[in-house]
Amino acid sequence: MEKIRISHLSKKYGKVLAVDSVTLAVEDKEFFSLLGPSGCGKSTVLRCVAGLEVPSEGEVYIGATRVNSSADGINVPTELRPIGMVFQNYAVWPHMTVHENVAYPLKLKKLPKEIIETKLKDALHTVGLERLSDRYPSQLSGGEQQRVALARALIKEPEVLLLDEPLSNLDAKLREQMRFELKDLQRRTGIPILYVTHDQAEALAMSDHLAVMNAGRIVQVGTPAEIYTCPADRFVADFIGLMNFVPGRILSRNGEEATVEFLSGHRLSVADRSDLSGECLVAVRPEDISLSPAGPIRCRVEVRSYAGHLIDYKVRAGGAVLRVQTAKTEVYKEGEELGLAVQRAMLFAPRES
């Protein structure tokens, strides 16, 4: 069942087209991310769903309710939409305790005190803040303030949660911890989440499905594995994870397999369903390259970087500099002459001049 449906949504600011005919759906109990670089339109899409922006064209449904329609002049106010929202800066009231911050939405509705306290207890328990209810935001860590914002969104019992870059102000270790907490929270509550981020690691780690945006448009929608392993175009391939791009030339095709020449004459068979011919770009993930003294493509280690769980190399081969990531047990010296082998590659159209 679709809990959020966006149909041909566009948003203009004067002559600037910030969002260009976006269509997507978020299913019940789904964690769905909008991912893209700054300025691509992802936050504008979220704000249109929330009612904080009025679309120039298109429709938005939350559940069965049409909350936006430019054609029919429908624009349900934010406060009447069944949503909970968490912003990048948390937006918690500094002069209120955790208890007061979380209870605030229900006090605005003038619900009986007994009901408020019951719902408050449940919301604080859900995010693990029962023991901190009397503290003020200044007495909390960034992660704890984030939980306050989440509890305040959850206490309204929304149909959907809208999260706009909620982890970007946290340090790296806490941000990684909060990824798992958010995913666990979503699984426990079953509330579908529409999540906006520019952090590809967040989107890949948490999402059931994600949409990659660029210049106001959706470029690709799929599972994290689909988008990482089968990017729709060069932009997605470059934006998601690390990627080496090397000029190549397609020599022949046999069904869904192409033989390509690259790196000073080396030939490689690549699974490829496109209709590319002639000049191309060969795209290879760093983890899809292996190093060994006997590798078929000669290379030289230029830089070695220890990353704990792996070793990150820059190697020069056939006039190109490549990133290679290996197990931490595969240690080679800077300046060492080696060979490399490409295990898997993708093909894209050559760069535009």
Q: How many residues does the chain have?
A: 353
Task: Write the pLDDT tens digit of every residue in 150-198.
Answer: 889 888 889 999 999 888 877 888 788 888 888 888 998 899 999 999 9
Specify whether the CB–CB gap between 226 and 237 falls below 8 A. Answer: no
Fold of the domain spanning 242-348: OB fold (Dihydrolipoamide Acetyltransferase, E2P) (2.40.50)
Whether the per-residue pLDDT at 352 is higher than 60: the answer is no
For residues 10 and 58, what is the distance between their CA atoms, to the nearest angstrom? Answer: 6
**Among 197, 193, 238, 152, residue whose Cα is nearest residue 34:** 197
Whether the per-residue pLDDT at 353 is higher than 60: the answer is no
The SS3 of residue 115 is helix
Contacts of 276 (CB under 8 A, 6+ apart): 250, 258, 347, 348, 349
Question: Which one-letter DSSP state was computed for residue 351?
Answer: P
Task: Write the pLDDT tens digit of every residue in 91-127.
Answer: 788 898 999 999 988 888 888 888 999 989 988 888 8
Q: Which long-range contacts (CB under 8 A, 24 or more apart) does 298-306 make?
A: 298/337, 298/338, 298/339, 299/337, 299/338, 299/339, 299/340, 300/335, 300/336, 300/337, 300/338, 301/332, 301/333, 301/334, 301/335, 301/336, 301/338, 302/334, 302/335, 303/334, 304/331, 304/332, 304/333, 304/334
CATH of 2-238, one of 3.40.50.800, 3.40.50.300, 3.40.50.150, 3.40.50.10860: 3.40.50.300
Task: Write the pLDDT tens digit of every residue in 306-326.
Answer: 989 999 999 999 889 999 999
Helices 98-108, 113-127: inter-axial angle, 10-degree rounding: 130
Task: Write the pLDDT tens digit of every residue in 233-291.
Answer: 999 999 999 999 999 999 999 989 999 999 989 999 999 988 899 999 999 999 999 99
Q: Kindly tell me the burial class for residue 76, based on how many C-beta atoms sit within 10 Å of its own C-beta (0-12, 13-18, 19 or more).
A: middle
Pinpoint the residues of the chain covered by CATH 2.40.50.140. 242-348
For residues 196 and 202, what is the distance between their CA atoms, to the nearest angstrom? Answer: 10
∠ CA 283-289-290, nearest 5°, is 170
- Helix (H) or strand (E) run with residue 60 in it: strand 57-62
Question: Which one-letter DSSP state was computed for residue 308?
Answer: S
Contacts of 49 (CB under 8 A, 6+ apart): 4, 6, 60, 62, 67, 83, 162, 194
Pinpoint the residues of the chain covered by CATH 3.40.50.300. 2-238
Task: Write the pLDDT tens digit of every residue in 18-33.
Answer: 999 999 999 999 999 9
Contacts of 63 (CB under 8 A, 6+ apart): 3, 82, 159
Task: Write the pLDDT tens digit of every residue in 61-79.
Answer: 999 999 999 999 999 999 9
